[in-house]
Structure 1
């Protein structure tokens, strides 16, 4: 039961968050419109537009989101999926701290879910710090 609460639930929730992000991002690439777009400050919209208009970055970001999400959801090398998503989560948290504070609840959810999974997979990351 403990494994389900501390590993499976955070893994599935984080996977779903990033799967929705990837689908929305690919939808934007195909149509120029978002399926889901939470409230974003003016500066946040400018930042997002910069990422989208860079040409290469938005598709790369969405492929990373999708790869990490599927890794977590399918429980196939989930520690690797989390490692792929960690830099994305760091940027999301900093984005909400610095530019878009109304999104801080989402940032806190990412920190909690990611932190639980880092702890659960700590043995797989240990070799990186030796």
Structure 2
């Protein structure tokens, strides 16, 4: 697969030249492992959520060709989130 050009290519170049991609990759691996282990799913979803936001933002702003796959990953994340929504319920309660 050829490297993207324009702003998307520049963005990817910065991620690789700074080594920041290692942090992103590690977050994805740890989050995915937690979800797949079916033990700390809420923590895994919490780690993967911001990664998905960045993936969606990247494709919306710089590389729209990958947007369908980004939406597929968001739908899969949303399905698992929905199954474990009780773990996140306190986040959506109004404080009194």
Q: Please state which band the TM-score falls in when normalised by the shorter chain.
A: 0.7 to 0.9
Number of equivalent positions = 93
1:44 correspondence with 2:8: yes
**Structure 1 residue 44, shift from structure 2 partner:** 1.4
Which of the numbers 71, 81, 92 marks the counterpart of 1:129?
92
1:119 correspondence with 2:82: yes
Contact in 1 for aligned 2:3/2:9 (Cα 8 Å): no
Matches within 5 A, 1:1-130: 37=1, 40-55=4-19, 57-130=20-93
Q: TM-score, normalised by structure 1?
A: 0.64
- Hey, what's the Cα distance between the residues in 2 that align with 1:47 and 1:58? 11
Give a deviation string over 1:69-123, Cα, whole Å, max 9, x none: 1112222211210110100000101111110011011111012111112211110
Runs of at least 4 residues of structure 1 off by over 4 A?
none
**Structure 1 residue 39, shift from structure 2 partner:** 6.7
